[in-house]
Structure 1
Amino acid sequence: MDVQTWFTAQECAGMPGFPSGVSNVRKQLEKLSEGLEGVRRKRGGTKATEYHISILPARTKNYLGYSDAGQPSEGLGEAKSGLANDEKKALWMMIYHGMTEAQREAVVEIFITGGLKMLMPAVLELSDSNQVQRKEIFEQRNSDEQVSPASSVSTQSKAG
């Protein structure tokens, strides 16, 4: 099995840890490789520049099935098949880190006392529904929301 250790900006575009635009990826790769020797080279027969896996962000290496050291992880096939789960875990962590400490404590307390049904009744309700039912539930919940107008603020300065 040939293990890929050099990547172009085009190949990195859209991977976890990189933007989707190739020019922005190229800029990021240039920054990551700045001042380092032996981590950048021209791809033979093309104008493309390749970058060694050692400079890629940890998220990208994990996505590709590599350890932080740039070596293939044990069970590379398992890592590739579990990519969706890794991305889901990353999303959950992002949600968790986006909460205040008080919100985190409340989530844990609700889960401990009432379980998943108490913590996320909407999630459980939606997971048991088909596509049409989900759409109806979303529409109903959106129409139930009370939208209050912003308080009026004067932008005129008071002359004194």
Structure 2
Amino acid sequence: MSGTYKFGLYENADGTNTDGSITPLQKISITYDAGDTTPKSSKFINLELSKIYYVFELDDKDQPIKDSSTVATVNGMEYLTSYTATKSGSTTTGVNSASNGDRVTVTNQSRVNKLPSTGNCGVLIYRLAGAILILFAGVLMLMKYKETKTRN
């Protein structure tokens, strides 16, 4: 989907920093235009090499999206966001944790509301009634045919 997607870097796994603030240490953004199909990437810079950081996508209110099972609004659309980390020899744990050389991939899955189920048993009644009427019409035609045949 076209739009600008924002990401924040935090020091704690709960989307906070060691000083208790909820403002990201750094923010980056990636912009997709209509027709873009290739994945894009961006980097956080000037970080401590031995420190573990946590990457979160930011919603429309610039709040970190922490729970991948809840719906978040990004660019006015509802998404389920998931994180995966590619480790490059580090010992970090967590799907959105990274240290020097690691890569965190953020995937947004568009949330589509389930359409209502239509035509359950209400349609079945009309089908059965129609089949009975056709059968009844066939019996009447057969009786008329036999009646005209016996007259001749």
Name the TM-score class by shorter chain.
under 0.3
TM-score (norm 2): 0.22
| Higher percent of residues as strand | 2
| Higher percent of residues as helix | 1
TM-score (norm 1): 0.22
Report which of the two structures shows the higher radius of gyration computed on alpha carbons.
2
